[in-house]
């Protein structure tokens, strides 16, 4: 097995690409009772147009198929549900769908290999019928309606609408009631056979294991042995401008909530070595601009303009990249103006050396803390693998991120013309 290592935090990951194309990553954590496994496929909500490697056929699928497929995978031909089976073993099991991948996982202290039997059985053996697909449509339609009434989710989706015109990042992960009505067993099998091929999948396991022994146990349970060629995904051309600057809706909220975004138009698929330094620099900048220890946050909080520390995130893939700053306030425009003012001052005067060094240390500490949890480690390695990133590189490349480099990222990414705001206002009485 190939071994990658972070000398800084004394952690190792063992990686093996099996003959059928499946990548297995094992991160041993000695003296821990918890075991965590996550089995993921590089198939998310943005993958709605592709060419099937097996036939060369170009396929368009309805929005929401990746999420629908995730729901259906638990149902077995004998009438059992694998989620119930795992929970009956005292195992905490779940699944989720994101923009770029779908994952099936469980955490346990006992019965790991019984859980592995069930996980690998249901993920490798789909069972879709007209009847069970129709039944699922009603369940997912209820979930979609629930999200339609969720202010936080609508805030985020409207922010995506502000930033992107045609990019599939705008697609709700669950789709719409109309789009899921077009899903059939044939569509699900077509997507399963394309995206659930082992060569498009990764399994990450973290816990107190001997990597070579665990790998042999995984190999024993593999039933899908055929690898396939690369899946050609078709996405709309990159958009250099935002779609709209502002969008607001009224919903049942106690105070208005806001999402302020910067669309990052410098996608790094042609310059992959900059992905991690840039991500680290953006995390430092967000914390310096409006993080808990920033002057701006202190001022806004003490004046009652912000109820709590805002959520700060940078989301990216080969097809999209953006920053989101979200929180709750009576005056979203004031928050936006203050952020803009702070960014322009930093661009003009440069970053304070001492503040930069302090925040940089905090970010490093956050990275190190993630290695305390088997679940955090496994989810991180899977999500990064989907982006072709080695998770250890965030630790190893930390020192290369200088103040000068971070100031350049500030100028390149935090551009006023790429700034948007989504607001959910309090519903007014009719």
pLDDT value of position 54: 83
Q: What does pLDDT average to in each consecutive run of 10 residues of the chain (430 residues)?
A: 93 96 96 96 96 91 97 93 96 96 97 97 95 94 94 97 96 95 96 95 97 97 86 93 97 95 84 91 98 95 94 94 97 97 97 96 94 96 96 94 98 97 86
Reduced to 3 states (helix: H, G, I; strand: E, B; else coil), residue 246 is: strand
Is-contact 167 239, C-beta < 8 A? yes
Catalytic residue among 70, 75, 107, 136: 70
pLDDT value of position 304: 94
pLDDT value of position 226: 83
Rounded CA Rg of the chain: 23
pLDDT value of position 429: 61
Buried b (16+ CB within 10 A) or exposed e, 369-400: ebbebbeebbbbbbbbbbbebbbbbbbbbbee
Q: Is 70 a catalytic residue?
A: yes
What residue ranges do the domains of the chain occupy?
2-233, 246-426
The CATH architecture annotation of domain 246-426 reads 2-Layer Sandwich (3.30)
Cross-sheet strand order for the sheet of 232-233: 58-60, 49-51, 232-233
pLDDT value of position 92: 97
Whole-Å CA distances, 361 to 94, 343, 351, 376: 34, 21, 15, 20
pLDDT value of position 228: 86
pLDDT value of position 397: 93
Is-contact 243 163, C-beta < 8 A? yes
Element (H, E) at 204: strand 201-207
Query: Which class is 2-233 in CATH?
Result: alpha beta
For 280-430, list the strands marked E by DSSP.
311-316, 321-328, 419-426
pLDDT value of position 121: 95
Whole-Å CA distances, 61 to 43, 58, 161, 183, 365: 12, 10, 21, 8, 42
End-to-end CA distance of the chain: 66
As a whole number of angstroms, the distance between CA 93 and CA 143 comes to: 20
């Amino acid at each position: 097995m190939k071994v990658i290592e972070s000398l800084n935090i004394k952690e190792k990951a063992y990686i093996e690409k099996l003959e059928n194309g499946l990548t297995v990553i094992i991160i041993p954590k000695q003296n821990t009772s918890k075991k965590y496994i996550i089995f993921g496929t590089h198939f998310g909500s943005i993958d709605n147009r592709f060419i099937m490697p097996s036939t060369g056929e170009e396929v368009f699928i309805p929005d929401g198929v990746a999420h629908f497929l995730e729901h259906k995978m638990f149902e077995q031909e004998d009438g059992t549900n694998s989620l119930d089976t795992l929970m009956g073993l005292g195992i905490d099991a779940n699944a989720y769908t994101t923009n770029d991948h779908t994952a099936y996982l469980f955490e346990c202290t006992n019965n790991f290999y019984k859980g592995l039997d069930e996980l690998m059985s249901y993920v490798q053996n789909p069972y879709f019928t007209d009847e069970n697909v129709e039944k699922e449509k009603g369940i997912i339609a209820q979930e979609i309606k629930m999200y339609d009434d969720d202010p936080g989710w609508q805030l985020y989706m409207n922010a995506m609408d502000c930033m992107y015109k045609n990019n599939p990042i705008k697609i709700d992960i669950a789709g719409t009631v109309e789009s899921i009505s077009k899903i059939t067993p044939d569509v699900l099998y077509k997507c399963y056979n394309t995206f659930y091929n082992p060569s498009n999948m990764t399994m990450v396991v973290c816990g107190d294991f001997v990597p070579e022994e665990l790998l042999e146990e995984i190999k024993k349970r593999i039933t899908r042995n055929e690898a396939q060629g690369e899946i050609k995904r078709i996405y709309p051309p990159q958009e250099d401008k935002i779609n709209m600057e502002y969008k607001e809706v009224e919903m049942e909220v106690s105070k208005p909530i806001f999402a302020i975004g910067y669309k990052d138009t410098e996608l790094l698929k042609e310059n992959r070595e900059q992905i991690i330094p840039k991500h680290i620099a953006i995390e430092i900048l967000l914390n310096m601009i409006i993080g808990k220890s920033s002057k701006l946050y202190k001022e806004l909080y003490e004046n009652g303009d912000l109820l709590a520390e805002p959520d700060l995130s940078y989301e990216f893939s080969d097809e999209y990249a953006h920053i989101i700053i979200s929180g709750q306030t009576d005056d979203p425009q004031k928050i936006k103006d203050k952020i803009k003012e702070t960014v322009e001052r930093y661009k003009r005067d440069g970053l304070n050396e001492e503040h930069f060094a302090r925040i940089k240390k905090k970010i490093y500490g956050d990275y190190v803390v993630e290695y305390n949890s088997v679940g955090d480690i496994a989810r991180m390695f899977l999500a990064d693998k989907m982006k072709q990133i080695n998770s250890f590189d965030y630790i190893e490349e930390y020192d290369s991120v200088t103040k000068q480099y971070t100031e350049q990222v500030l100028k390149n990414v935090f551009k006023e013309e790429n700034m948007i705001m989504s607001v959910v206002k309090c519903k007014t009485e009719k």
